[in-house]
Chain A
């Protein structure tokens, strides 16, 4: 079954890079990895997604290992507003069923 595994919590100093890992060893060859974040109990917010190449946008960078079994979300200069729960998500192959997992609670410290 498709699943993702993330550390439950991480701390990061303000201004430093936050590196959030995710294991998705059961991902199939043509499924994307998605990252979202949730601040307090608001609706999750999309950050970035990728298939096999590294990706970068205005919010973050996504590094996917060559075997695609894991990835790392990088927030290059974390701010206090980046304190949130970060979810790494995959789809069940051949479906539009999304598996969220329990996420990583990132706390950015002043």
Chain B
């Protein structure tokens, strides 16, 4: 089954404790992206990647890191989480093309930073 998986689905942590949220897709997509969703703000893009070793900032990259060492994986790293990073996080992937392309979203990771 074609899908985007995220782990963990739920995480409660404390300020300053480094964490990684994994994202994996099995569709051989070049494009992968991370979004955060906060009440009243919709989804905002954190980082995206056009292919292996190619990443770029979205609208809200501060406090996050990403890496794309393999095509299927795109982990989101919070080196020193803070309470304002408490949010619902989504990973997405898609092909890249001149015509419009559909993004496939993962199920989300709900992060709470105390």
Contacts and interface: CB of A to CB of B under 8 A. Distances in A.
Contacts of A46: 102-104
Nearest to B41: A102
Interface string A38-52: 000111111001110
Interface stretch (A13-21, A68-76, A92-100): A92-100
Contacts of A49: 100, 102
B43 interface: yes
Given A43-B90, A96-B31, A34 B108 contact: no
Interface majority SS (helix, strand, loop, mixed), chain B: strand
B108 A42 contact: yes
B25 interface: no
B108 A100 contact: no
Contacts of A87: 42-43
B42 A97 contact: no
B48 interface: yes
B75 interface: no
A102 B40 contact: yes
A51 B33 CA distance: 22
Given A96-B31, A98-B45, A102-B40, A42 B107 contact: yes
A100 B100 contact: no
Contacts of B45: 97-100
Given A41-B37, A96-B31, 9 more contacts: A41-B110, A42-B107, A42-B108, A44-B90, A44-B92, A46-B102, A98-B45, A100-B35, A103-B42
| CB-CB nearest 6 A-B residue pairs | A43-B105, A32-B100, A49-B100, A100-B43, A102-B42, A46-B102
Interface of A: 32, 34, 36, 41-46, 49-51, 87, 95-103
